[in-house]
């Protein structure tokens, strides 16, 4: 789905999804009832009602399959952001073992990284265009600075090792959020879900073509269920895009003061 759709507030997204679903359902109802005359009506009624449960089950399985991917991506994205924030916080705390200029420079690098992540990386991830080629220069500089320090005590040796580990963990978490940001549901999966929903709606209209009130009620109920599933998946499809996306709040909270 396009960027403009995923960027909509949930309310507007719901309006588009429900409106589009009901519009298509109304079109299916009008076409089937218009064709349900004479021999075609008997052919439509020949469609067994027993076909509906398998179609509904298949639709439910596809929804479950896509939902599992979406929830997994959201969990991975949230975990990556929090791990990155925790690692940066640890590096800032341990930087106090090297008072003076080293501590100030290390804190400045972490502060710059968080600033760039908030203003540059998050918009790129929201558009699904954050690639691993984007180098985290502030973290790389912080890592080089730490490796270049000369410890003067056992405590500083241990602190230097832990700072390097924390910075490497932050870089790895950053890579993970980049990877998750580009893992949206592809068009094949969306097409499969929509086609299955379309087939089920057509089958419902055929089975109830001789009773228009029943057809309208059955179609409306299933169309509502389809719209709910589409909205739920679409609103979480991109973890870093939209109103309920994962923001950089965790990183901002650990940003060192100037």
Per-residue confidence of the chain (258 residues) as pLDDT tens digits?
Answer: 577 888 889 999 999 999 999 999 999 999 999 998 888 888 888 888 888 999 999 999 999 999 999 999 999 999 999 999 999 999 999 999 999 999 999 999 999 999 999 998 898 888 877 766 667 889 999 999 999 988 889 989 999 999 999 999 999 999 999 888 887 888 899 999 999 999 999 999 999 988 889 999 999 999 999 999 999 999 988 899 888 889 999 999 999 887
Nearest alpha-carbon partner for 230 in 3, 44, 6, 4: 6
pLDDT of residue 41: 84
Crossing angle between the packed helical segments 137-147 and 101-116, to the nearest 10 degrees: 160
Q: Is residue 176 within 8 Å of 246, Cβ to Cβ? A: no
Give CA–CA dist 35/103, Å, rounded: 78
pLDDT of residue 186: 87
Structural domain boundaries of the chain? 83-183+244-258
pLDDT of residue 134: 67
pLDDT of residue 242: 84
pLDDT of residue 132: 61
Q: HEC profile for 126-180? A: HCCCCCCCCCCHHHHHHHHHHHCCCCCCHHHHHHHHHHHHHHHHHHHHHHHHHHH
pLDDT of residue 107: 94
Token pair 């918009």 is at which residue?
123
pLDDT of residue 31: 93
pLDDT of residue 72: 92
Nearest alpha-carbon partner for 25 in 168, 204, 187: 204
Give CA–CA dist 177/124, Å, rounded: 11
């Amino acid at each position: 789905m396009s960027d403009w759709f995923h960027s909509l507030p949930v309310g507007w997204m719901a309006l588009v999804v429900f409106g589009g679903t009901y519009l298509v359902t109304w079109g299916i109802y009008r076409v089937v009832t218009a064709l349900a005359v004479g021999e075609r009506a008997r052919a439509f009624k020949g469609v067994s009602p027993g076909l509906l449960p398998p179609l509904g089950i298949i639709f439910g399985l596809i929804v479950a399959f896509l939902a599992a991917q979406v929830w997994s991506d959201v969990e991975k994205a949230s975990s990556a952001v929090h791990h990155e924030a925790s690692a940066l916080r640890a590096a800032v705390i341990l930087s106090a073992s090297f008072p003076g200029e080293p501590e100030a420079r290390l804190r400045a690098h972490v502060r710059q990284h968080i600033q760039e992540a908030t203003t540059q990386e998050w918009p790129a991830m929201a558009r699904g265009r954050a690639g691993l080629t984007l180098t985290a220069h502030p973290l790389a500089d912080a890592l080089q600075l730490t490796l270049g320090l000369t410890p003067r005590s056992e405590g500083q040796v241990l602190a230097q090792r832990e700072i390097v580990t924390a910075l490497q963990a932050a870089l790895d978490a950053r890579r993970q959020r980049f990877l998750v940001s580009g893992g949206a549901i592809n068009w094949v999966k969306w097409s499969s879900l929509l086609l299955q929903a379309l087939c089920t709606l057509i089958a419902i209209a055929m089975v109830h073509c001789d009773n228009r009130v029943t057809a309208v009620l059955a179609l409306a109920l299933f169309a509502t269920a389809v719209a709910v599933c589409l909205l739920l998946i679409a609103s979480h499809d991109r973890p870093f895009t939209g109103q309920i996306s994962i923001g950089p709040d965790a990183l901002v909270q650990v940003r060192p003061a100037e």
